[in-house]
Amino acid sequence: MPIVPTKEILDRAFAERYGVAAINVINDLTMEAVLAAADELRAPIIIQTSVKHVKMTGVDAMYALWQTYASRVSVPAALHLDHCPERELISACLARGWNSVLFDASKLSVEENKRQCIEVVAEARRYGAHVEGEIEGFKRTEEMTGDEAEHVQTLDTVVDFISATGVDVFAPAIGNAHGMYKTTPHLDSQRVTDIVQATGIPVALHGGTGMTPEQFSDLISRGCAKVNISTALKIAFMKSGYDFMTEHPGDYDPPKIFTAQRAAVMEMARYHIRLFGSEGKAWT
C-alpha cells in the first residue's frame, strides 16, 4: 500500500522545491478520481477531508474508503484532516489512521493555541502522524477587505509557535483566503521566505484556487510544499454535473453523470499537479 507519512511527502517536496497538491475531496467519487489522477501522473498526493465531510460520512466509513482507493494506486499518498478546531475529532481521526491533521485553534489566543497544539503534536506522534499549525486563520474571499496582509502575527510569534509546538508544517496568512477570489489576490510572498528561513519547515498554502500560475511557482520556490486546493474541486464537480444535465435533458441514469464528474475532477487534479511541478515525483 502506498500510504506514506505526510511529513515524508512534504519534506521531499520542500527539499526539491516542488508543490504537492493537497486536494479536499467531498465524497467517494472525488477521492477516487484525485487518487487516480495522481497515479496516472506518478505524483505524490495528499487527500484532504473537511470536518463537515468526515462527520457526514463517519470516521470509520471514510477511512475504509481511503484504504480501499489508496490500495489501488502506487504513488505516495497521505490522508489529512483539514482545519479542525475540535480535539475530539482530531483524536478520533488520528486513532483511526489519518496521516496528519490541521489543528485550527486560530480563534483562540496564540498562547492557548500553542498550549493545545503541543498536546495535539504529542498525540499525533504516538501514531506516527503529523500536524499542521496555524495561528492567524483565513477569511472567506467574500469577506476580504484588501488589508489582510496587515493582520498577521509577528515573525517572532510565528517562530516561537513553531519551535514550541514542533508542528511539521505551518499555514501562514499571506493575503490568501478561502473561496473564489474576485481579483488576483495580493500576496505577501516574502513572509513565506522569512518563515522558511527562520524555521526550516515547509509552509502550507491555503486558498489556492484562483491564484495565478506565476504566484504558485513563486510561492512553491519559496517553500510552499503543500498546496491546498478545495474550491476548484467543488466547481469541477458541480459544474460538470450541471453541464451534463443541460446537455442531456431527461437522462436520469446516474452512472453517466458520475462518469462526467469523475473526468472533470481528474482533469482539475492533473492541471494542478502539473502546475505545482509534482508530476513524475513519485518514489514508491
Site residues, Zn ion (CB under 5 A)? 206
Is 218 tagged catalytic?
no
Min separation Cβ 82 and Zn ion, Å = 6
What DSSP designation does 150 have?
G
Please say which residue, 2 or 185, places its beta carbon nearer to Zn ion: 185
Please say which residue, 49 or 240, places its beta carbon nearer to Zn ion: 49
- Residue 48's DSSP bridge partners are 24, 80
Please say which residue, 191 or 206, places its beta carbon nearer to Zn ion: 206
Would you call 65 helix, strand, or coil by DSSP?
Answer: helix
The C-alpha cell at 261 is 464528474
Min separation Cβ 117 and Zn ion, Å = 16
* 90: amino acid identity, one letter: I
12 and 283 Cβ atoms separated by less than 8 Å = yes
Min separation Cβ 257 and Zn ion, Å = 28
Q: How far is CA 277 from the centre of its chain?
A: 16
Phi, psi of 102 (to 5 degrees): -100, 110
What DSSP designation does 159 have?
H
Exactly one of 11, 28, 39, 82 is catalytic; name it.
82
Please say which residue, 136 or 218, places its beta carbon nearer to Zn ion: 136
Supply angle C-alpha 112, 91, 115, rounded to 5.
15
* 64: amino acid identity, one letter: A
DSSP H or E run through 162: helix 155-165
Length of the chain in terms of residues written = 284
Min separation Cβ 153 and Zn ion, Å = 17
List residues with catalytic annotation.
82
